[in-house]
Structure 1
């Protein structure tokens, strides 16, 4: 059975590529769009629960617009769901991404001017012009210190994950304003140019190779329903509901705590 999270079909419409495998009333190619709000919940159904989130500038393919909602598939990981139609605009080719934990778009090229919106790490922008200290976008001005060119990648997933320390835990979250365990891992790996699925069960099945020997920074440990990254050989960095934040925690302490709360032992240890 196809995983509905990754299947661009809702019964009424389906992606043209699924014509021979999925039943639908209509098969469509879909239309390219991009996100125009800082963060939007990607919902299981219109007004339904949040499954994941999409960030400013991320590219999507819209398969259906209906009653103010858009059914879409995200380019970055293939995840499907619904966002408000108002969270989307015509696609533009992103030129840069936010490399700081978070940033602001300002009304003018002046840090004392009104801030228009806050952006999370990994948000994408299209720079129209570079000025002395700011990049001009269609929404306003972003500090040059906070951006990197599309295609420029980080080298250490563990160092990227540390940018999120203190971020509040949010089930299904993908931003510096709220994130969960798999969202943290995805953000860290994508920033380093490593393709990564959205949810921990998908990550466990698809990421890395079985690790041998002692843990090293960047390794991933999986439990049923949870994933954590090694910050070093004795310390995890993970978003978790116990601390309700992204924290550093000793590997042995975390393993004992997770087992004691009834979630079992590590199910997989992978390395890149």
Structure 2
């Protein structure tokens, strides 16, 4: 059986139309008006596979994830030049921090610069502080540093933004920012990322630990950072304490240890 997250029903996928997200954040749903699977951010590219009344079946460019978004959340593609690298930022009406804000955008949102000044980039939507963006070609060096930007962000099932994120969303944001391809859900990440480390081996910075339905990023031999329902937030936790807590709450043992080298 094919996975509809990556291989939609061919009877439904009758188009191939490039578009991009025009809202700050959009739910990617299993069905029109269905449950959220993941989220997409401003400026992200998608391929529209089907028109369905007020909904569109799409495939996300960043990871191939398929699902439905509202048609009103899409617009024609522009070439992105920059990406938001602060946890979040405002888009201002003018190149003045006292001017009215037009949008609030999350880390990972993609922007098209029209012009640049020492303090702002100008986009079709307004002006964004230069301190909050980098060029798309400039990649982060360390996924742990990226994950730390989200410390305290509320846990949200299927979340991918600075206003709510889940375990696999955090790992994906951290890895994509460093130029490492990464799928959207933890089971996909376990299957496709890195190499398996033998049980009982030491933990190294940047390793991934998996449980059934959960993933965490190793900071050092003693600690992990993860978006988790125990804290209902992105938190740093002792590895042994996390393993015990997760087991005690009925979610089982560690099911995988992967190394991204």
Normalised by the shorter chain, which TM-score bucket? over 0.9
TM-score with structure 1 length normalisation? 0.93
Which residue is equivalent to 1:193? 179
Find out whether 1:224 has 2:212 as its counterpart: yes
Show the 5 A alignment for 1:5-20: 5-9=5-9, 11=11, 13-14=12-13
Residue 8 of structure 1, CA deviation: 3.3
Helix, strand or coil for the counterpart of 1:5?
A: coil
In 1, Cα distance between equivalents of 2:121 and 2:8: 35
CA gap 1:53/1:10 in 2 versus in 1, 3 angstroms:
farther
In 1, Cα distance between equivalents of 2:197 and 2:138: 28
In 1, Cα distance between equivalents of 2:238 and 2:143: 18
Which residue is equivalent to 1:38? 24
Which residue is equivalent to 2:55? 69
Which residue is equivalent to 2:99? 113
Residue 10 of structure 1, CA deviation: 6.6
The 4+ residue runs of structure 1 with deviation greater than 4 A are none
Deviations 1:103-155 (A, max 9, x none): 11011100011111111101100001002311000100000111111121111
Is there any run of 5+ residues in structure 2 with no aligned partner, and where? none
Of 104, 113, 128, which aligns to 2:90? 104
When the two chains are superposed, the root-mean-square deviation of aligned CA atoms in Å is 1.1
CA gap 1:179/1:10 in 2 versus in 1, 3 angstroms:
farther
Is there any run of 5+ residues in structure 1 with no aligned partner, and where? 15-26
Which residue is equivalent to 2:222? 234
In 1, Cα distance between equivalents of 2:226 and 2:42: 24
Of 136, 143, 148, which aligns to 2:122? 136
TM-score with structure 2 length normalisation? 0.96
In 2, Cα distance between equivalents of 1:239 and 1:215: 19
Matched positions, count: 258
